[in-house]
Structures are given as structure tokens and as C-alpha cells.
Amino acid sequence: MTEPLLKMRGVKIEGRSDETWNPIINGVDLTLARGEVLGLIGESGAGKSTLGLAAMGYTRDGVRISDGTIEFDGIDLLTASAAVKRELLGKRIAYVAQSAAASFNPAHRLIDQHVEGPSQHGVMSRAESEADGMELYRKLRLPNPDEIGFRYPHQVSGGQLQRAMTAMAMSCRPDLIVFDEPTTALDVTTQIEVLSAIRDIVDQFGTAAIYITHDLAVVAQMADRIKVLLKGDEVETADTRTMLDAPTQEYTKSLWAVRSFERPAKPAIATGAVPVISVQNVDASYGSTPVLHDVSFDMHEGRTVAVVGESGSGKSTTARCITGLLPPKSGQILLDGEALPASYKKRSKDQLRQVQMIYQMADTALNPRMSIGQIIARPVQFYLGLTGAAKRKRVDQLLEQIELEPSEYYNRLPSELSGGQKQRVGIARALAAEPKFIICDEVTSALDQLVAEGILRLLAKLQDDLSLSYMFITHDLATVRAIADEVVVMKDGRVVEQGPKVDMFTPPHHAYTDLLLSSVPEMDPDWLTNLLKERGVDNVGDAAVDKM
């Protein structure tokens, strides 16, 4: 075996906060052979991205590599001069960022940004690299590869942009590409296109890659080897198959077990039961653009209805109609069999109390200037009129329900909480109103799998204790499998299929449901290969959609 391409030994990285240096990575070794793909997984805050950037000899501002060596093809990146690094980065080491939309310069066309690397490094002339760019676009299965480069970043979709970025990283035929969660922000159906495109091109050019993600199923498709990180320490490293079949460490096993959470099926709904919330023939539009067409479904007491679909399918808009933020053009919303006024402004305090909402981004859903206690206490006081000691007692009770220690968390600000804890506070705020019905809008999509599972378990427990009804908006079918009783599938503002979960997950499906279901990555490393074979390798997602 020849020398490895990348060799990191005992790398320690520190970040500066509050005037002191705190460790982010405590001595991690990493070896990467030529043409090998290494998956780097862990929760957020585990130091995946920091380590990935360090592999390029780069650190973010306020971060320093304090110890260890990083050797790329025999060149010590830590002592290399700026000129040497400039020569390496972009040419021999490339980087694909998580958010392609934020990483492209919106003022230049894609191809202009694509040719910058090769012409800057003197690899190709501008014309050559333009032609090469189109070739790469074709290899990455972008539509209209000869023209798409002449568009501006806002004129192509997120998945296409992510592929254009991969093409850009490939432009100099680097030896190493660092992928930093390239598909995290994408829909399941788009994710597949990007994954298969990336996998093929990395394969074709024999490029080594570090693939950073928190999605195990994704990494299983992409990587030859997997390295698990926890709080800056390496947990274990092994071949993908070995790792999936026989993880040795407790932590890895717990990561693997996340997807096993599933609630037992509930008995069928009694005929004639009055639904808590009934959406009836709702049409809605933003301005003159229609978004919802004749949407109807019921939600019953103590049950969870999962509403699934891609972004733009009208899931969140339906929620806005139910809460009254967007009065429907026609149709109505019934609460316990009685029609709710269309606009929230016209609803009574009690009607408002019964319908609560938990938001996707806990960061923007909690006022950053209020303490946790204040945030939860407000609905307690507002709806139930409790004050003083009684209010405090109720807030403590709610904090206990969401499994946060009241004495410790009452006076904290949202910024002093982790993502999962913030989401719990969001749940407590909704619970404080003592509602019958809670809308959960993608509540777990911004969270790591372990944390998300905790939230799902909590929601399930609360439902059993308080017989709440949930409307669970999500695009993640694993979540649906875990928590839903009934499923509503939406596409382009219409309900395409609805029914009990068991029926939804057993064929035959509506073509679109089928596409959604089959696009959820599985832990099997051969899953993507098999799926592509099944669908016929060409442009997977689009082809399936077109068939409908």
C-alpha cells in the first residue's frame, strides 16, 4: 500500500469563547487513502465540520489547531506557507458546503463561478474549463447541461445548485473533496438525485472524499469507511458494513437504535366520533396564487395525523389555515364540530387556547430576551389567569413534564439551551395553554436523530397522558412511521392519499406516495444501488415524478 493521501495525527482543535480556549477536538487520528470515501458522523457539536475543515488545513475565525500534524500527500498543512496552501486549496483539495444557496455568489452566473478555480490555478483555459463544466454538469445529470451554467444561482433549484457546487469542486480534478452535509437541507426525493450524482462522480474520477453528515442512512450509501465522533473524541472507525452490522461501542449502538422507535397501532376510530379538528374543503391562496385545492381531513382525540409531502406541497399552509393566520377562500375548519371563525382575530380566547402550535425552528419561536420561566408562564397567566405562587407551581410542573429541572432552567435564556431543550420549551409553551390540539410543524427536522427521537418519545408520552391530538407536519417518513396514527399525503396543494398508517405503508400506493416512501434512505449500504437499478438509473427523482 502506498502512502495515504491524508494523514492527521493527534489533532487537537480549540475554539475561543469568553476569553478562554475550549477544546473542540481532543486528539483525533484520521487516515484517508487515495480514492477512499470516509463518512464522518456525530451529533451537532461533535466537531465534524471543524475536523473536516482542518483536513484542508483551515480553521474558522476564533478557532485554532493547537496540536497534532496534518499531512496531505506529504505536505505538512500546518506549517505550509500561505502560498503553498493557496496552490493546494481548490486545485487539489476542494470543499462542498452545506448550503449551496448561501455559498454561491448570487450576482454571477454558475459557469462564471465554475471556471474561476481552473483558470486561477492555471489548470485549463477559460474556454476549456467552460466546456469541461458542461461535461461535468452532464455527468451529474443536471437538466440542460449546456445551458444551465448560464443561469444565476436563484434560477435553479436547491438540489441542482448542490450538484453545480459539486461540479465546481470537481473542476480541477482534486485529490480530495470535503462534503459538509451536502444533502441535509434537501427533500428526500431531491436528496437521492444529489447522492447518486455525487457517488457516481467521486467513483468515476477516483477522488478521495470526507463525507460529513448526521444521517446514518445517507452515510451508509456513500462511505467506504465510517468514523463516529462524539464531543470531539473518536468513538470508533470501521468499514461501513462492519460498522452497520456489528458496532462495538455503546454510543454507536444507540445511534443505530434511534430508528427503531415505533408506537403500537391504535384501534380504529369509533364511527360517529366527532373529530377534534375537521378541515373541510379548504381552498386557500397567497394573493392571487392558489396554494390549496379542496383539502379535507379529520383529526381525532388522542391521535396523531401526519401530513407529509415535499416542500411547497401546502403542508404548512394548511396549518396556517387551521390556526387562522391565513383565512381560507372557501371551506371551513371545525373545532369539536363547531365552525371556527376564519381569522384568528375573530376567535375567542378559548378557541385560540384549544389550538396550539410548535414550530420548526425553536430559535425563532422563543423570544431570546425572555427567560424560559417567563416564556412558559405567559400562556399560563394569559389563558388560565394564574398569578404568583400558583403560576410558578404550574410552570414548574410543565418543566417537569418536558423533563427539564425547574430550579435549573427557570431563569435561563433560550440562548443558554441546546436545540433539543429549546424545542422542549416550545412544547411546554403549547402545553401551558392546556389545549386539545397541537400542530407540530416539522418539529424534529432541525434536530439530530438522537435528540429528535427524545422529542418524539416525549410527544408520544404527553399524548398518552393528556389525550392530545397532533397534526404532525413532516417530510421525513421515518418520523411518520414512528409517531403517526393516520397519514395524509399532500402534493401541489392537494391531498393525494389519506388513511391509517398501516394502510399507507403497505402497497399498493398512489404513485407519489410510492416515490416518497422509496426515497427514504435505509441503513442498508446497497439500498441506493438497488433503488437506482429498480428505477432505471437515469435521473431518478424527475423520472418518477414525470411518470405520474
CB nearer to another protein: give 320 or 509: 320
Helix (H), strand (E) at residue 26: strand 20-32
Least distance between another protein and beta carbon 533 (Å) = 43
Which amino acid appears at position 523 of this protein?
M
Asked if 154 interacts with another protein (CB under 8 A), we say: no
- Which of 414/454 has CB closer to another protein? 414
Nearer to another protein, 242 or 381 (CB): 381
Under rule CB under 8 A, residue 28 binds another protein: no
Q: Lay out the site mask for another protein across 38-67 (x = CB under 8 A, - = otherwise).
A: -----------------------xx-----
Minimum distance from CB of 337 to another protein (Å)?
Answer: 22
- Decide: is 429 part of the binding site for another protein (CB under 8 A): yes
Nine cell digits for residue 187:
427533500
Separate counts of helices (H) and strands (E) for the chain: 23, 20
Residue 375 or 480: the one with the smaller Cβ distance to another protein is 375
Is 157 near another protein (CB under 8 A)? Answer: no
Nearer to another protein, 22 or 157 (CB): 22
Q: How far is the CB of 81 from another protein (least distance, A)?
A: 5
From CA 468, how far away is CA 485, in angstroms rounded? 13
| Smallest separation, CB 352 to another protein (Å) | 5
Sequence-distant (6+) residues with CB within 8 A of 360 are: 441, 442, 443, 445, 446
* Distance of alpha carbon 199 from alpha carbon 218, whole angstroms: 11
Interface with another protein, residue 379, by CB under 8 A: yes
The amino acid present at 138, given as its one-letter code, is R
Of 51-59, 248-256, 349-357, 540-548, the window that binds another protein (rule: CB under 8 A) is 349-357
Rg (CA), the chain: 25
Coil, helix or strand at residue 450: helix
Stretch that binds another protein, among 47-55, 233-241, 342-350, 400-408 (CB under 8 A): 342-350
Look up residue 253 and give its three cell numbers.
449502538
Q: How far is the CB of 70 from another protein (least distance, A)?
A: 15
The torsion angles phi and psi of 105, rounded to 5 degrees, stand at -80, 115
If one asks whether residue 205 binds another protein (CB under 8 A), the answer comes out as no
C-alpha cell at 301: 382525540
Give least dist CB 229 to another protein, A: 24
- HEC string for 80-104: CCHHHHHHHECCCEEEECCCHHHHC
Residues 207/212/213/217 CA torsion (nearest 10 deg): 40
Quick one: which of 2, 20, 81, 288 contacts another protein (CB under 8 A)?
81
Binding of another protein at residue 21 (CB under 8 A)? no
Smallest distance from the beta carbon of 328 to another protein, in angstroms?
A: 16
Site for another protein in 381-400 (CB under 8 A): 382-383
Cell 434560477 belongs to: 155
Give the binding range for another protein (CB under 8 A) out of 38-46, 126-134, 164-172, 354-362. Answer: 354-362
Contact between 455 and another protein by CB under 8 A: the answer reads: no
256 binds another protein (CB under 8 A): no
DSSP string, 284-351: EEETTEEEEEEEEEEE-TT-EEEEE--TTSSHHHHHHHHHTSS--SEEEEEETTEEPPSSGGGS-HHH
The residues with which 210 forms a beta bridge, in sequence order, are 38, 178
Contact call for residue 20 and another protein (CB under 8 A): no
Q: Taking CB under 8 A as the rule, does residue 352 contact another protein?
A: yes
Q: Which is nearer to another protein, 267 or 287 (CB)?
A: 287
Sequence-separated (6 or more) residues with CB below 8 Å from residue 448:
43, 44, 214, 419, 420
Min separation Cβ 528 and another protein, Å: 35
- Return the bridge partners of 289, or none: 286
The C-alpha atoms of residue 307 and residue 301 are separated, in whole angstroms, by: 16
Cα–Cα distance measured from residue 372 to residue 426, given in angstroms and rounded to the nearest whole number: 10
Nearer Cβ to another protein (79/120):
79
Binding piece for another protein, criterion CB under 8 A, among 165-173, 286-294, 341-349, 388-396: 341-349
Give the CB-side neighbour count of residue 548, counting CA atoms within 13 A.
15
Span interacting with another protein, options 256-264, 274-282, 301-309, 363-371, rule CB under 8 A: 363-371
Determine if 541 is a binding residue for another protein (CB under 8 A): no
Shortest separation between residue 359's beta carbon and another protein, angstroms: 4
Does residue 411 interact with another protein by CB under 8 A? no
Site size for another protein, by CB under 8 A? 35
Q: How far is 63 from 57, CA to CA, in rounded Å?
A: 12
Return phi, psi of residue 341, to 5°. Answer: -55, 145
Applying CB under 8 A, the residues found at the interface with another protein are: 16-18, 61-62, 79, 81-83, 323-325, 344, 347, 349, 352, 355-357, 359, 361, 364-370, 378-379, 382-383, 415, 429, 433
